[in-house]
């Protein structure tokens, strides 16, 4: 049984193939991503060693603040270069989406199917190459054969701390606090990974319906694009069933990112002495650099993701301020207590629904 879509993956043509050739995506991204800053070997070795150690220390601080994960083991993060991150990201996306993409897209075998999947793989690889030059770390709950893996991208962390001229020790711990919060979210909340995967499956399962509706809804798409931008275009092309899943995915992603951002700052100056300065400089850095960089960020949805951090952090801060961390942790009780997309922007609505 296909765990993402609930459909029997063995039925139908055995020649069906995924819409994206993930091996092509991985190879393309790894080829184009570049190696990162040129640093002496001893500097690189120290960064790798220190980040591994800090990933354990950071999660202890996160557990103390959030009250999550008592008794769970704390493994060291895997510290990687850019190419390794690209390959891991491609593998994780493959594990999360391929069975659903195969069923939804109906791509068959043969030269045409291989050509389409290969072309999509090249485009995905280009996106991964850009992201691979930016991302500092990532917890992938679907990596390492489904066991989950926390990756810290050493060259990008070194590059960022140099560009911002911040304390090396403080910044590395600060990054680890964010990424370890993500790992703890999934490890401490047993149903979360399956919930996320199921919603991805439902969203992808509506691709055929979306494709047939797109042209008839083009006037609506243009109107929404004029007022709301790229994200509105994406939403306007969705079927009603897809939009429901998309809203749930946006809501949970915003919660996860905002919660992690809140935690990394809330741990405070006793752990990260220069946290205020780092946050100020990092927020400015998130806005991007030159024109090409900003265009790519918009196309890839990075600007929308930055808004996720901000909205999710505001939701978390407000709820914790009203009912404390234990009251906030009701979000993890079940899928029914997760905030909706609307409640993220109106946290008092969530408080009335969950806490009465």
Instruction: Write the DSSP string, 90-143.
Output: HHHHHHHHHHHHHHHH---SHHHHHHHHHHHHHHHHHHHHHHHTT--EEEETT-
Mean pLDDT is lowest, of 47-56, 97-106, 152-161, 255-264, for 97-106
Alpha-carbon distance of 57 to 59, in angstroms, equals 6
Does the residue 300 lie in any domain?
Answer: yes
Alpha-carbon distance of 223 to 6, in angstroms, equals 36
Q: What's the structural domain count of the chain?
A: 1
Does the residue 288 lie in any domain?
Answer: yes
Of 49, 120, 54, 135, the closest CA to residue 88 belongs to 135
Does the residue 110 lie in any domain?
Answer: yes
Alpha-carbon distance of 317 to 259, in angstroms, equals 8
If you search the block for the tokens 């080829």, which residue do you land on? 31
Owning domain of residue 245: 22-205+239-355
- Claim: this prediction has a pTM higher than 0.85: no
Does the residue 176 lie in any domain?
Answer: yes
Token readout for 45 is 């070795």
Does the residue 210 lie in any domain?
Answer: no
pLDDT mean over 269-274: 94
Does the residue 89 lie in any domain?
Answer: yes
Task: Give the pLDDT confidence of 65-109 residue by residue, as tens digits.
Answer: 999 999 999 999 999 999 999 999 999 988 887 656 554 554 455
Alpha-carbon distance of 356 to 346, in angstroms, equals 15
> What share of the chain in percent tops pLDDT 70?
75
What is the distance between the terminal CA atoms of the chain, rounded to a whole angstrom? 39
Q: Which DSSP symbol is given to 274?
A: T
Which element (helix H / strand E) includes 79?
strand 78-80
Q: What sign for the dihedral angle of Cα 116, 122, 123, 125?
A: positive
If you search the block for the tokens 């609307």, which residue do you land on? 342
Does the residue 233 lie in any domain?
Answer: no
The CA–CA distances, whole Å, from 157 to 18, 132, 134, 161, 297 equal 33, 12, 9, 6, 19
Does the residue 133 lie in any domain?
Answer: yes
Q: Which residue has the higher pLDDT, 299 or 63?
A: 63
If you search the block for the tokens 């992690």, which residue do you land on? 260
Task: Give the pLDDT confidence of 31-52 residue by residue, as tens digits.
Answer: 999 988 999 999 999 999 999 9
Alpha-carbon distance of 182 to 185, in angstroms, equals 5
Q: Which residue has the higher pLDDT, 15 or 169?
A: 169
């Amino acid at each position: 049984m296909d765990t993402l879509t609930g459909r029997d993956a063995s039925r139908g043509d055995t020649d069906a193939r995924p819409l994206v050739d993930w091996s092509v995506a991985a190879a393309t991204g790894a080829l184009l991503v570049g190696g990162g800053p040129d640093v002496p070997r001893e500097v690189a070795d120290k960064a790798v060693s220190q980040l591994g150690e800090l990933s354990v220390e950071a999660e202890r601080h996160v557990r103390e603040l959030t009250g999550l994960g008592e008794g769970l083991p704390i493994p060291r993060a895997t510290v990687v270069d850019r190419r390794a991150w690209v390959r891991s990201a491609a593998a994780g996306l493959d594990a999360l989406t391929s069975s659903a993409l195969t069923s939804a897209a109906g791509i068959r075998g043969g030269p045409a199917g291989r050509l389409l999947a290969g072309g999509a793989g090249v485009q995905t690889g280009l996106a991964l190459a850009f992201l691979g030059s930016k991302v500092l770390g990532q917890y992938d709950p679907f990596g390492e054969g489904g066991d989950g893996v926390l990756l810290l991208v050493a060259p990008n962390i070194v590059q960022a701390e140099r560009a911002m001229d911040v304390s090396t020790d403080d910044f590395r711990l600060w990054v680890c606090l964010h990424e370890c919060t993500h790992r703890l979210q999934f490890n401490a909340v047993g149903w979360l990974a399956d919930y996320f995967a199921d919603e991805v499956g439902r969203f992808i399962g509506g691709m055929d319906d979306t494709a047939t509706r797109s042209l008839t809804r083009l006037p609506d798409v243009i109107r929404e694009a004029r007022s709301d931008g790229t994200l509105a275009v994406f939403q306007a092309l969705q079927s009603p069933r897809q939009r429901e899943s998309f809203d749930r995915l946006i809501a949970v992603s915003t919660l996860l990112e905002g919660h992690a951002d809140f935690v990394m700052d809330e741990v405070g100056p006793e752990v990260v002495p220069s946290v205020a300065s780092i946050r100020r400089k990092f927020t400015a850095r998130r806005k991007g650099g030159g024109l090409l960089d900003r265009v790519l960020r918009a196309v890839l949805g990075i600007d929308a993701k930055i808004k996720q951090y901000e909205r999710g952090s505001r939701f978390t801060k407000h709820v914790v301020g009203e009912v404390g961390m234990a009251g906030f942790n009701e979000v993890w009780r079940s899928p029914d207590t997760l905030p909706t997309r609307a409640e993220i922007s109106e946290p008092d609505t969530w408080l009335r629904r969950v806490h009465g």
